[in-house]
Structure formats: C-alpha cells, structure tokens
C-alpha cells in the first residue's frame, strides 16, 4: 500500500513539474511578444570594467545618460579619463574614473575599497573587460595564454568577491558579465579566447544558482550573462560569413544599448543578435558530425592577423 502511495505521489510530482515547465515556456514566449518592463537605474552605482574604450565606454555613457552614478575602471588611465570627460561634458555627474588592472587580485580589492569610501557601495557590476588574441594555438606564447585567462575569466572572481558582499547585505544588486557567442561554440584561432568566455558562462550560472538555492529563491540580486557576436571594436580585423545577415555586426554603441536594455529587463542570458542563443543550444545537442556539418554549411570564419 505504501509503495503504491509513493508511486502515485511521484507521478503527481512529475506531472506538477511538467506543468510548471510548460508554464515557464509559455511565459518566455509571452515575454518575446510583450517584453518585460525596464527597471530604472537612476541613482544606482554602476561600475564598469574596461570602460576606457569600445563597449565599456559606451556602457558608461549609456548608464550615465539614464541617471546612474558611473564608476569607470580601466588599466589605461588616459582612455579611462577620456570616458569620464565625455560623460561630464554631457552634464551627467557624478562620474568617477580609477585605474585598475582587473587581472591583479590585490589591486582589485585595493581599488574596490577606495571606491566604497569615495563613492559608495556598487549596486550594478558590469564585468566587461576582456582581451582577444586571434591566432593558432601553437603560436600563442605562454604569457599570452595566461594574460587572456586572467583578464577574461579569473578577474571575474576578484570583482565578484569585492562587490557581492555589500549587495548581499542590502539584498539588492545586479551582476552583468560579458561572455561571447564564441563561448558557446568553439572556433579555430579561438583556442584561448573561447574557453575564457565559456568560463564566464559557467561562473555566472554557478554563482546565480548558488544564490537561488541558498536564499530559497528570496535573493533580489540579479545575474545577466551577455553573449555578443561580432562587435566592431577592432579586435576582429578579418572575418567572412557565408550568410552575413546571420551575424549582423553591431557598433559598440548598439551593443551597449542592447546590454543595458537586457540588464534593465533582468534577462538572465541573451545573445547579440538574440536568435543565436536558441540556435547555438540546438547545435550543441546534435551529434558531433551533424554539428560540424551545419557549421561547415554556415561557414563562419575569423582570420588571424599573423
């Protein structure tokens, strides 16, 4: 009797889970038709790494224009101060600029403490800093491999350790991390870059799931992972796509506006363009030979500079 009861209980639980899954699928479809309302970022303290150029610079400008207090971090003092100057000329204040090498653990914690004293507790952290070296694996020096790993992946641990505690204390905050479509599907000449961007995806998934489980779903700290495709920042100088419209490139400003939009709508994962996420997920479920067949048909190619 007890065995039958337990079996019925399990079947009821499975049915309930299936109903919830169906509901959440419908919810996501609905959000595609009627997007979630954007939350305000006015008054938030937004820290952006790699704010001296490219997407980071445009993110800083974008958040400042929405009324946020912007904190710019970059290893290049000159370009970082230039970003701050552009924002001040817009009449948007306060804005701050700090030199910080995010790959240096001690420097991250030292500058983070300075930010806390001079600006306040960071409520939106945008881990944007990244470097890419496009070349054959055997042509990479050991120093290049270490540098790309440290900036693109390991640095996320240091910034999270530095800024999450205050978010936990207030139960308020948002972590945004820039991965890449190259982190979803490996590619030639990306044997160092692609793994670092896959690591960003894994870090964000693990940390956000940890928060969900240990807070019993009560944490108000949000996590958004962004997977840009081709962004015209100068990192990729030579590329070829059989169907260019599939990988329509974005300017840094266009990418930044889409990233800010995703953060304000609390999207957990989004690719730029958005259709690449379901496409990549579908391709990953296929057998190896079938996956390679599709990639050969699409023929996306990035070429090294050397």
Question: What are 225's strand-pairing partners?
Answer: 177, 269
DSSP 8: H
Peptide bond just before 173 cis, omega within 30 deg? no
Residue with tokens 């641990």: 157
Strands (E), the chain: 45-49, 69-74, 95-99, 124-127, 173-178, 221-228, 238-241, 269-272, 300-303
Question: What are 226's strand-pairing partners?
Answer: 178, 270
Alpha helices by DSSP H, listed for 34-67, are 54-65
Say how many CA atoms lie within 13 Å of 243 toward its Cβ: 7
Which among 63, 96, 189, 193 is annotated as catalytic? Answer: 193
Q: Would you say 134 and 193 are in contact if contact means Cβ atoms under 8 Å apart?
A: yes
- Residue 189 a catalytic site member: no
How far CA 59 is from CA of 71, 84, 125, 260, in Å, comes to: 11, 12, 11, 7
Q: Would you say 51 and 72 are in contact if contact means Cβ atoms under 8 Å apart?
A: yes
Q: Which residues are catalytic?
A: 193
């Amino acid at each position: 009797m007890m065995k039958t009861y337990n079996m019925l209980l399990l079947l009821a639980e499975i049915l309930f889970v299936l109903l919830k899954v169906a509901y959440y699928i419908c919810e996501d479809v609905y959000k595609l038709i009627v997007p979630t309302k954007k939350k305000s970022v006015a008054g938030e303290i937004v820290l952006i790494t790699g704010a001296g150029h490219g997407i980071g610079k445009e993110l800083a400008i974008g958040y400042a224009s929405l009324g946020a207090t912007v904190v710019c971090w970059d290893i290049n003092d000159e370009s970082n101060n230039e970003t701050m100057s552009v924002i001040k000329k817009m009449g948007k204040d306060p804005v701050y600029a700090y030199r910080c090498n995010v790959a240096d653990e001690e420097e991250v914690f030292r500058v983070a403490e300075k930010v806390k004293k001079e600006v306040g507790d960071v409520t939106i952290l945008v881990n944007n800093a990244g470097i890419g070296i496009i070349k054959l694996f055997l042509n990479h020096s050991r120093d290049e491999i270490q540098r790309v790993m440290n900036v693109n992946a390991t640095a996320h641990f240091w910034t999270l350790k530095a800024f999450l505690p205050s978010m936990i204390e207030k139960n308020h905050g948002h972590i945004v991390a820039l991965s890449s479509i190259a982190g979803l599907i490996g590619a030639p000449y990306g044997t160092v870059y692609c793994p670092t961007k896959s690591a960003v995806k894994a870090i964000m998934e693990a940390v956000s799931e940890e928060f969900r489980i240990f807070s019993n779903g009560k944490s108000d700290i949000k996590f958004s992972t962004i997977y840009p495709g081709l962004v015209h920042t100068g990192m990729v100088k030579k590329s070829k796509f059989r169907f260019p419209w599939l990988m329509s490139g974005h300017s840094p400003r266009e990418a930044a506006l889409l990233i800010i939009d995703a953060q304000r709508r609390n999207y957990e994962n989004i690719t730029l363009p958005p259709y690449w996420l379901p496409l990549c997920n579908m391709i990953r479920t296929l057998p190896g030979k079938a996956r390679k067949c599709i990639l050969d048909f699409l023929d996306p190619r990035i070429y090294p500079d050397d």
